[in-house]
Structure 1
Amino acid sequence: MSDDDTTMVDINAIDQDAANEAQMMYGHGEMTERELDEKYPNRPKNKHKTLPFADLYLNLFNPLQENKRKPAGAVVNRRKLGPHGGMNPNDVRRTIIERFIGRWRREVGNDIFPAMRLIIPDRDKDRGMYGLKELTIGKLLVKMMKIDKNSDDGHKMLHWKLPGMKSSSQMTGDFAGRCFEVISKRPMLSSPGNMSIAEVNELLDQLSVAQKEENQLPIMQEFYTRMCAEELMWLIRMILRQMKIGATDKTLFEIWHADAENLFNISSSLKRVCWELYDPGMRLEGEARNIHLMQCFQPQLAQFQMRSMEHMVARMKPAEDDDIFWIEDKLDGERMQLHLEEDVDAPGGNRTMFYSRKGKDYTDLYGHGLSDKSGSLTKFIRDAFQSGVRSIILDGEMISWDMIHDKMEPFGRLKTAAISEQSNNSNASTHTRPLYKIFDCLYLNGKDLTKYTLRKRREALNASVHTVERRLEIHSYVEARTASEIEPLLREVVANRAEGLVLKNPRSPYRLNERNDDWIKVKPEYMTEFGEALDCVVIGAYWGSGRRGGNHSSFLCGLRVDQQAVQYAQVDPEKCLSFFKVGGGFTAADYQDIRHRTDGKWQDWDASNPPPLIVLGGFAENRQQEKPDQWIHPSDSVVLEVKAAEVTGTPQFATGCTLRFPRFKRLRNDKTWEQGLSLSEFKTLRSNIEEGKKDKQFKVDDERKKRSTRKRKRALVIQGQEEQNLSTAYAGPATKVFDGMTFCIMTEALKPLKKSKTEIEALVKANGGTVVASEKDPETICVADRNLVKVASIIKRGERNIIKPRWLYDAVVMGEADAGKLRLRLPMEKERHVYAVKKGAVEEDWEENVDDYGDSYCRNVDEAELLEMLNDPAIKGEDEDEDEEDTALLMQQLRTEDPDFDDMPGWLFGGLTAWLDTGLDAEARLFAFAGGNAVTELEDGEITHIVLRTDSEKVDKIVATMTSRRPMPRVVTASWVTESWIAKSRLDEERFTAH
């Protein structure tokens, strides 16, 4: 038997160390191993111990990153990689991965799952989230290494985006790199440690279930003791699931096995990919290539919108006798699969499973079966399935429904609605509830339906499922034949501020994990009705990360408050109101020009003493939304010309609105800040544009509008708004939430509502509490919102906790929601409710009352607080798996607003079609590689850009030919393609117009 032939290896040939490792990684008892063998009877078993953890970065990560830095098309001398002479970076990448996999097969065995889950940790759904992000890891390391948080190294760890005086420019903005710099000064090991890949996996499993800091700290301590600085740097990247090793998942899957990507698409399981496809000669066949009941799969996605409705309809390949396409409302929820099967051993004789688009299991939240009383959905839909349905897989969107106003709520409220419904065992109406909107049926009674057309799948859906109103509903659609039928529906979407539309081809099969022309999304923000350029002054800047670490990567722009706008803005003149952030469209030269003109004029933003000239957005209690890292006096600043898709309302900026998808066009060095756009000028411009919209192509079909049966949106009532009525005199006790409690009201209330001491005392009494004038009784609860002398004295002595009046408001709202039936004691939240903490208090007890996002487990949040939490930079993006909203919208936002997203070259020219002049083969390949569609025929009706050589004599002829096109393609020189690639951002075409 050869070294590579491990598929039939005898159990005696497996050394004891390898057996011990398998036991450590995959189970701590005989039953667990037996269950794994039953579920994966042919799973491979390694014959030797796993490789050292250090081998991952020495022989895989570092070589791939070094190869990544080579320019496209470069030839690499690969003395260490083989005898084949020069190779381009793509071939070198494959060789590096192939060598690592080959070595693993020879020296370890065919079970590569332990390594793969560290190489692509974001694809491993068998290990839970760690609950750790940069700031939390930084705090753990500072505590573990006993570093003063105010020292230079402590500041580097806790403020990793800020440029450091002594930091390497390459490490600035790279958290793991910053950790490497700090750990390198105080390492426990100066050379790679002896931890194996299996040992690292075991500790990471423990870390994922530890969650609390006191449990995570000893695990991180062991890593620190047994790893060198570079090993720890890569470990931190694995924990953050931010590897960026220079190879995609697709490449790794393809090299491991020809069917690996397909199996991952139908299972979302990295473990299955590694255990079922360990033999390159064994292919997926028949049923193995289909989706399976109770196993998550990667769903079909909708293509990005194209430049015209006609093109979108044409791309759906209408047949001569069937030119119908479907139009559905796009839902603002979470993509969800529902699997149901008969099970005589389960309560009610069935089992259900719920999976999100990213493969997260939500069954505990929505229900394990139709008789599961702990679920928030399944117990209400027992009658939704026809009697003949034995097994089914449904594809749809889980949304949150407001029962009071009978409308869909924003995605962010879905989890809160689902949790509240878990305790609702009746079909009684609650304020919000999860509603499952189904738009596809993919499996029925043992039959995979993905190969059938959408029309046939809908027939199966209608025959198998019926509506349970406001619990489970089949999503409706409108049949259309021409592009003109889309516009009236899209106008309704704009009027209702809804998500958009999805166009679907009823003749199409279901394609797993594909984004193709059979489903195309149409969103209002993609429209160009507000495409005019605006000249605005820069008033702030944000530090970048990654390749832009240590430099400003995006800027905060504002509108001047001139004399005409003083009354409208209700602020003093000569101030600037925050308006939008822009980070896309800049070249390296643009950044350099801005640095040159503003060098030495930037100041760090001090939240406790903000500059009086700059007004930020937010709510009364927090007027520092979107606060920049640094600010600049408008008179010392520059003016940017920016174009955007549209203006949308938001409280995050002081203007009350902002630009959707802003993109830098050029630097207006010919304008001073006083010539930048003012608030009154912007109001006039916006008014003119709104009037002009009425005459554009995008018009409302009045007759269709009259026939529409859609309900008009009612006025929005924000939950928690009842706080504003607290000043109203109470006729008697409204609730008993303060029954048996004694309060000493020491000051008036400042936030979120200004209330006098008398008003607060009346509130306490009206809800069952007792008010006293002295705080001497230790059972008396002290309430204060200002640091007066008496309050300061108590704080200095450190003998009492002091709470904010806000806790009283929240407790009353919670009690009123319960209709006064229960006396609810609302748990306190440190940041929101506690003004001062007595000495020796256990602050962790308060932290357990909120999740990682600051969202209370015990009370509902209102819209204002939700916005505040979502924009808190300390918690923004804490949990990757919670960000389940539509990835397409997210990518559009990242492309235009997040400069780091430009590091993904595959999206640079996405959605564009170009004809390139003869002799521009390299530019054509680059354009296609970066997501564009390069065509060879000038008559192609979808062309958006004509790319010519600088010395081309065809300009006049081509321009004359294209004049009749609507819209006319942009005619640019080849440098637009190459310089955009170098800048990693799509540059404005006007700079490269061919003459």
Structure 2
Amino acid sequence: MSDLDDIEMSDRDEPEQQRDDDAINEEHKMYGHGAMTEQELNEKYPKRPHNLHKTLYFHELYLTLFNPLNDNKKRPTGPQMNRRKIGPHGTKTSPNDIRKGIIERFIARWRKEVGHDIYPAFRLIVPEKDRDRAMYGLKEMTLGKILVRVMKIDKNSDDGYNLLHWKLPGVKNTSAMAGDFAGRCFEVISKRPILTKPGKMRIADVNEQLDRLSVAQKEENQLPIIEYFYNNMNAEELMWLIRMILRQMKVGATEKTIFDLWHPDAESLFNISSSLRRVCWELWDERIKLDGNDKGIALMQCFQPQLAAFQMRSIEAMVARMNPTESDPVFWIEEKLDGERMQLHMIEDESVPGGKRFAFWSRKAKDYTYLYGNGFEDENAALTRHIKSAFNEGVRNIVLDGEMITWDPEQDVIVGFGSLKTAALSEQKNPYGSGHRPLFRVFDCLLLNDTVLTRYTLRKRREVLSASITDVHRRIEVHKYEEATSPQEVEPRLRKVVAESSEGLVLKNPRSEYRLNDRNDDWMKVKPEYMTEFGEALDCIVVGGYYGSGHRGGKLSSFMCGLRLDDDMFQYSQQQSQTTMNPQKTWSFFKVGGGFTANDYAEIRHHTDGKWMDWEFKNPPKDWIELGGGWENQYEKPDVWIKPEDSVVISVKAASAGSTQQFRTGVTLRFPRFKKLRLDKDWKSALSWMEFNALKKRAEEEHQEKQFKIDDERTKRKTTKRKRTLVIQGQEDDVLMTPYAGPATQVFEGLSFVVMTECVKPKKSKADLEQLVKANGGNVVASDRDPKTIIVADRKLVKVASVQKRDERNIIRPSWLFDCIRQSELDVGRTSLLLPLEPYHLFHTVSAEAGKCDDNVDEFGDSYARDVTSEDLLALFSKMPKAVERDYDGAGMLEQLNEHGSELDAMPGWMFQGRTVYCDDVPAEAMRLLEFAGGRFADSVEDEAVTHVIVRADSQRTGELRQHLAFRPRQPRIVTDAWVTDSWAEKTLLDEERYTPA
């Protein structure tokens, strides 16, 4: 740390003198019986702060921090994310300002009412960053079982079933929380709470119990702790506690934002130490600053490694971003390894046999020293006992960055990542056997003999690495790289690694420094895109279904596909078992959940409704489906299953096929994506086991003989979340669509409506509107005498004109009903959210309230509370002055999103990122969406970076464009503009083949 002489000692000692006895007792409970004694803590952290008073009540966390942050999170983002809202005192605040204000107020209150030790609170606010508390070993299913026992409810009752089947829709339509386990727990607990008001547990008490829970591990030991929480918390407190246990907070603020508001150097210290405790105890005073030495990595201290950026642009653009020069145009190409990121620390220590002590940490800061070894003589080591000769003479201490992978010594090949821990445990027991073993591939050296190397270039660091490490065959090896100077050198290497079933490539800038916990353009992933020769014509039978979570909660969102057994194979299996076998029996093959539109889901539901059966672990359908892992393990077990004769065939594409133990076929598709529903096929004509093997063999032979083609559909879109859509009863395809998030809402509960006219646009009868109100919890009355009754009208009929003439009541348009329902379904768990009225919602406003609703929208009419649709967005753009459009900087927004840790591949607003598009007389609306969602425009079809050519459906130039592009080595996809608008509407990239022009 920097010198602190300028901080008066009396200032730092004064809090200690004023501490309450209760605060001292609290601290002893929290820290007095942990991994370190209080004396050890004082020795290691001599300047750690001590709180003056007891910690806040636990419920203050969600009342003053979590709930306000969540409310702020629900405000619309996008091009209006920087727009500001007029506050109560005339000041302008943006969502980002509001978020910071909420966190700053909480921190200030903690300092004032509790003290400077905020570690107890941060352990609960960002539990996923707390490395000091062990994992609980609890998942949703186990927690559900414990809660059923604690509340003493029958597991087969409605509430018991809802808890244990939290992804499924609630029975009797009692649950709107499908897919949200903590929300489902809140619903069930709310019916039988011990406390109806917030309990008296303080944050220190919760931490003490969670420490006990983390060491209990076994369900029987964990049950009394959960029961203690149940007896001392209300339903909302328990909901947030469960989110902390599952480490799934998602409160609308990243740890970076929280760290920055705690101390300017907090993120830097966390990056080099991965220690939340140090962030809180060493940086409790803003006058304390990290100096240059404190901001670097240190021996035996886990750091947050540098990460590779996603492929968001063409290879040419990626290479250009590495800033090559005429004198040094070189960039490096490395194979991307399918393993676990690992850092190795070695230090001299005479107390350890062999004189060297080791430590291993994963990217998530999990300590794996117990597995790979703490020294050369560690008899329980899966690695260190084999690598004594790896370190050259003169290496006293070192920090290495690399990838731990699984190696098969018999086949001399890399084995999939899923087998790494099994291989390491096996190596511990049989260190010189011929089974799978861990292999550490090193690609960076960050410290050598007390000298930190992160400020040196990658080229210099690799020189140090080569001089320090000698390969120990298939135990520890320096990862190889190839030098290149032009983008054209990348694609042949990509073909080669894909043919060898590798992950892909990483491009690195040899002139770059090492940047902790950063994902930047100095390292960039290049993964294989979908191959047309193998992955685009697999028609497979759906045999299982999985319920989704979040916006997909309560409905089947992904499906298991199987391969039917051919006649020869079927007869052979029948002879082997000497029993009569079901000719429809299938083997599990893969699971697919990407590429479906709302209509696809609806079509599958239509053809399979009423035919799904629950999967019973103790009584699986052995005669119909065989899973990976046998009947004891039942890997990739679906939630429900269906007979092939009752099911549908779907067409999928994939990047490649790879071996696996998770599916019965022993092989599965990597990155499968739905293409279309094959209603022209039945189960008998779906892909069989032998047909797939023949197809796979033929594809592999073709890969060796010629270059494969690459399709533009990028695999990084496999995690993009989609919102399904539902047509409101009585509507046709061309009218209002609302995102589906479960059963009908209760948004109008307790409200009465009188509907005076039909809806003009979309066309809805008066009866339809009344039914819509009732379906969403409202009450329909015939008279408007009650002043609380909401009047709905969209035409100036006689009775409507009469109300207007009296000028005593507002008249609301039906559009407000639609918007409230849509927003309530989008905001999972907020089924009673009523939107504030906007000017366009009002058919008539009483004179006394004129202009009152104007503050609910910005200057362009953009709502502060309602999520806009693509049509709304286009209408808003048309109102904005041209200067706004010219000043819009998509790159700046991307940089801001990256700064706040956003996952771009999960954001529909960036779905066209990485696509370079030539538009041939395309409607302006499609071009606006392309630009907004990250697409880049090319001025000419000749541009080699063009990935897509977009035309109108009735374009006469399609044939001419096809001929012009026919001789390109990598042909752009030609699609209609509907591909853009439909992808935006479905919030996921759709398969281009659906939009190939005639």
TM-score (norm 2): 0.69
Measure how far apart 1:523 and its partner are: 4.8
Secondary structure of the residue aligned to 1:297 is coil
- Give the equivalent residue in structure 2 for 1:720: none
Measure how far apart 1:543 and its partner are: 1.6
Alignment pair present for 1:532 and 2:536: yes
- Give the equivalent residue in structure 1 for 2:202: 196
Relative distance call for 1:118 and 1:457 in structure 2 (3 A) is same
Relative distance call for 1:982 and 1:206 in structure 2 (3 A) is farther
Measure how far apart 1:133 and its partner are: 1.2
The farther-off stretch of 300-309 and 162-171 is 300-309
The answer to whether the 8 A contact 2:651-2:677 is kept is: yes
Measure how far apart 1:549 and its partner are: 1.8
Secondary structure of the residue aligned to 2:171 is coil
The farther-off stretch of 493-502 and 292-301 is 493-502
Measure how far apart 1:119 and its partner are: 1.4
- Give the equivalent residue in structure 2 for 1:879: none
Aligned partner (choices 149, 154, 166) of residue 160 of structure 2: 154
Alignment pair present for 1:50 and 2:55: yes
1:460 partner letter: V
The answer to whether the 8 A contact 1:927-1:977 is kept is: no
The CA distance in 2 between the partners of 1:905 and 1:108, in whole Å, is 42
Measure how far apart 1:459 and its partner are: 1.5
- Give the equivalent residue in structure 2 for 1:463: 467
Relative distance call for 1:530 and 1:306 in structure 2 (3 A) is farther
1:458 partner letter: R
2:30 partner letter: M
Relative distance call for 1:527 and 1:683 in structure 2 (3 A) is closer
Q: Deviations over 1:55-96 (max 9, x none)?
A: 111222222223333333679999998635675544433333
Relative distance call for 1:387 and 1:235 in structure 2 (3 A) is same
- Give the equivalent residue in structure 2 for 1:71: 76
The farther-off stretch of 566-575 and 338-347 is 566-575
The CA distance in 2 between the partners of 1:40 and 1:413, in whole Å, is 40
Alignment pair present for 1:475 and 2:485: no
Aligned partner (choices 303, 306, 323) of residue 300 of structure 1: 306
Alignment pair present for 1:555 and 2:566: no
- Give the equivalent residue in structure 2 for 1:245: 251
The answer to whether the 8 A contact 1:525-1:646 is kept is: no
Aligned-pair Cα RMSD in Å: 4.4
Alignment pair present for 1:14 and 2:24: no
The CA distance in 2 between the partners of 1:458 and 1:370, in whole Å, is 25
The CA distance in 2 between the partners of 1:395 and 1:408, in whole Å, is 19
Q: Deviations over 1:397-435 (max 9, x none)?
A: 3334445555544444443444455567xx866645444
The CA distance in 2 between the partners of 1:271 and 1:963, in whole Å, is 61
Relative distance call for 1:616 and 1:698 in structure 2 (3 A) is same
Question: Identity across aligned pairs (percent)?
Answer: 60
Relative distance call for 1:543 and 1:105 in structure 2 (3 A) is same
Q: Deviations over 1:630-674 (max 9, x none)?
A: 333445444433332234455655666443212223344566666
Aligned partner (choices 367, 372, 391) of residue 385 of structure 1: 391
Q: Deviations over 1:791-837 (max 9, x none)?
A: xxxxxxxxxxxxxxxxxxxxxxxxxxxxxxxxxxxxxxxxxxxxxxx
Aligned partner (choices 44, 51, 59) of residue 39 of structure 1: 44
Alignment pair present for 1:359 and 2:386: no
The answer to whether the 8 A contact 1:304-1:911 is kept is: no
Q: Deviations over 1:926-949 (max 9, x none)?
A: 524xxxx65687687545356799
- Give the equivalent residue in structure 2 for 1:174: 180
The farther-off stretch of 100-109 and 916-925 is 916-925
- Give the equivalent residue in structure 2 for 1:593: 603
The CA distance in 2 between the partners of 1:567 and 1:482, in whole Å, is 56
Measure how far apart 1:538 and its partner are: 3.1
- Give the equivalent residue in structure 2 for 1:446: 450
The CA distance in 1 between the partners of 2:502 and 2:162, in whole Å, is 43
Structure 1 unaligned blocks of 5 or more: 700-899
The answer to whether the 8 A contact 1:580-1:658 is kept is: yes
1:398 partner letter: M
Q: Deviations over 1:531-588 (max 9, x none)?
A: 4244444333222222222111112334566779867997775666544322112233
Relative distance call for 1:47 and 1:986 in structure 2 (3 A) is farther
The CA distance in 2 between the partners of 1:685 and 1:380, in whole Å, is 42
Q: Deviations over 1:445-466 (max 9, x none)?
A: 2221112122211221222233
Relative distance call for 1:971 and 1:245 in structure 2 (3 A) is farther
The CA distance in 2 between the partners of 1:961 and 1:169, in whole Å, is 56
The CA distance in 1 between the partners of 2:273 and 2:910, in whole Å, is 26
Aligned partner (choices 175, 190, 212) of residue 218 of structure 2: 212
The answer to whether the 8 A contact 1:267-1:298 is kept is: yes
2:117 partner letter: D
Measure how far apart 1:156 and its partner are: 2.2
The correspondence of residues 826-841 of structure 1 with structure 2, limited to 5 A, is none
Relative distance call for 1:132 and 1:246 in structure 2 (3 A) is same
The CA distance in 2 between the partners of 1:245 and 1:634, in whole Å, is 43
1:265 partner letter: N
Aligned partner (choices 522, 545, 550) of residue 546 of structure 1: 550
The CA distance in 2 between the partners of 1:225 and 1:446, in whole Å, is 53
The CA distance in 1 between the partners of 2:219 and 2:484, in whole Å, is 57
The answer to whether the 8 A contact 1:169-1:550 is kept is: no
The correspondence of residues 25-36 of structure 1 with structure 2, limited to 5 A, is 25-28=30-33, 32-36=37-41
Relative distance call for 1:609 and 1:922 in structure 2 (3 A) is same
The CA distance in 2 between the partners of 1:936 and 1:280, in whole Å, is 49
Secondary structure of the residue aligned to 2:240 is helix
Relative distance call for 1:61 and 1:82 in structure 2 (3 A) is farther
2:18 partner letter: A
- Give the equivalent residue in structure 2 for 1:866: none
The answer to whether the 8 A contact 1:913-1:943 is kept is: yes
1:450 partner letter: T
The CA distance in 1 between the partners of 2:933 and 2:906, in whole Å, is 15
1:16 partner letter: D
The CA distance in 1 between the partners of 2:617 and 2:686, in whole Å, is 26
Q: Deviations over 1:889-910 (max 9, x none)?
A: xxxxxxxxxxx99866587556
The CA distance in 1 between the partners of 2:223 and 2:538, in whole Å, is 51
Aligned partner (choices 675, 686, 692) of residue 665 of structure 1: 675
The answer to whether the 8 A contact 1:371-1:382 is kept is: no
Q: Deviations over 1:170-228 (max 9, x none)?
A: 31222222222222222111110011111111111111112123322222222111111
The answer to whether the 8 A contact 2:313-2:913 is kept is: no
Alignment pair present for 1:106 and 2:90: no
- Give the equivalent residue in structure 2 for 1:706: none
User: How many aligned positions are there?
Assistant: 786
Measure how far apart 1:310 and its partner are: 5.4
The farther-off stretch of 214-223 and 290-299 is 214-223
TM-score (norm 1): 0.69
The answer to whether the 8 A contact 2:175-2:187 is kept is: no
The farther-off stretch of 662-671 and 153-162 is 662-671
- Give the equivalent residue in structure 1 for 2:989: 986
Relative distance call for 1:645 and 1:332 in structure 2 (3 A) is closer
The correspondence of residues 666-745 of structure 1 with structure 2, limited to 5 A, is 666-668=676-678, 689-690=699-700, 692-693=702-703, 696-698=706-708
Secondary structure of the residue aligned to 1:217 is helix
The correspondence of residues 320-359 of structure 1 with structure 2, limited to 5 A, is 320-343=326-349, 349-359=355-365
Measure how far apart 1:43 and its partner are: 3.2
Secondary structure of the residue aligned to 1:438 is strand
- Give the equivalent residue in structure 2 for 1:640: 650
- Give the equivalent residue in structure 1 for 2:847: none
Relative distance call for 1:382 and 1:597 in structure 2 (3 A) is closer
The farther-off stretch of 673-682 and 370-379 is 673-682
Secondary structure of the residue aligned to 1:415 is helix
- Give the equivalent residue in structure 1 for 2:813: none
Relative distance call for 1:390 and 1:540 in structure 2 (3 A) is closer
The answer to whether the 8 A contact 2:338-2:503 is kept is: yes
Q: Deviations over 1:141-186 (max 9, x none)?
A: 2222222223322222223223231454431222222222222222
Q: Deviations over 1:237-279 (max 9, x none)?
A: 1111111222233333333344333332222122222333334
The answer to whether the 8 A contact 1:50-1:108 is kept is: yes
Alignment pair present for 1:277 and 2:283: yes
